[in-house]
């Protein structure tokens, strides 16, 4: 059985700098897919970037908290349905198509009170939902394993090589990442760490490790074409 890896960049659309970093990691590195935050300040810039890079698969990054920790009652089922429908409609209006996959900002869709409902809402799309078991998920390439505490070794070349060797298994796997460049108007608890991710994701040693391990880079678009083919 072969080994297929999707490298997905979250937060596309959050800012122009984040968009620029994701595109660089796609063109020069190993990012193959991205998740569009339609609530982001630079969502339209993100769509233009996606159209200029058609090999970059784009999914929906459902967002109900933003970077400012705004309040949202996940227990309000009608509010969840309404917000998901609105963001999906916005995605379709921006991209002119449905998303290739769905996930959420800060993994809010995995909260116990909303998990089953989000699965129900995504099911008609026929696309993978992060954490549903269809595609294995690795989220350890992140510099804040403890909230607000930065340890850049977690996003170093060595750390990523270790993930590739020890955690990517046969079949289909998604590795999430958060590359981006900081801009004055963008406020986030995860800031300069994004630029460290860019350096790692574009490092030639990472591609060499992929080749050594026989890991094939894929996207959520190629997943639909290959893994879901009759």
Residues with a known catalytic role: 10
Q: Is 148 left (phi over 0), alpha (psi -120 to 50) or beta?
A: left
Q: What b/e readout covers 42-73, taking b as 16+ CB neighbours within 10 angstroms?
A: bbebbbebbeeeeebbbbbbbbbebbeeeebe
Tokens coding 177: 């990442």
Please, are residues 195 and 186 in contact by the beta-carbon 8 Å criterion? Answer: no
Please, are residues 175 and 7 in contact by the beta-carbon 8 Å criterion? Answer: yes
């Amino acid at each position: 059985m072969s080994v297929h890896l999707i490298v997905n960049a979250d937060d596309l659309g959050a800012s122009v700098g984040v968009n620029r970093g994701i595109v660089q990691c796609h063109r020069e590195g190993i990012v193959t897919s991205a998740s569009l935050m339609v609530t982001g300040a630079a969502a339209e810039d993100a769509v233009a970037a996606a159209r200029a890079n058609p090999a970059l698969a784009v999914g929906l990054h459902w967002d109900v908290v933003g970077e400012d920790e705004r309040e949202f009652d996940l227990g309000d089922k009608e509010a969840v349905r309404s917000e998901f429908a609105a963001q999906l409609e916005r995605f379709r209006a921006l991209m002119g198509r449905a998303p290739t996959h769905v996930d959420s900002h800060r993994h809010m869709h995995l909260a116990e009170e909303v998990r089953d409902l989000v699965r129900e809402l995504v099911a008609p799309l026929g696309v993978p939902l992060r954490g549903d078991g269809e595609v294995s998920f690795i989220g350890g390439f992140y510099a804040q394993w403890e909230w607000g505490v930065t340890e850049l070794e977690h996003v170093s070349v060595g750390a990523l090589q270790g993930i590739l060797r020890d955690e990517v298994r046969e079949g289909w796997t998604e590795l999430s990442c958060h590359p981006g460049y900081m801009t004055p108007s963008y406020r986030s608890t995860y800031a300069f760490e994004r630029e460290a991710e860019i350096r790692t994701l574009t490092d030639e040693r990472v591609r060499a490790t992929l080749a050594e391990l026989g890991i094939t880079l894929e996207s959520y678009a190629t997943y639909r074409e290959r893994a879901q083919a009759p």
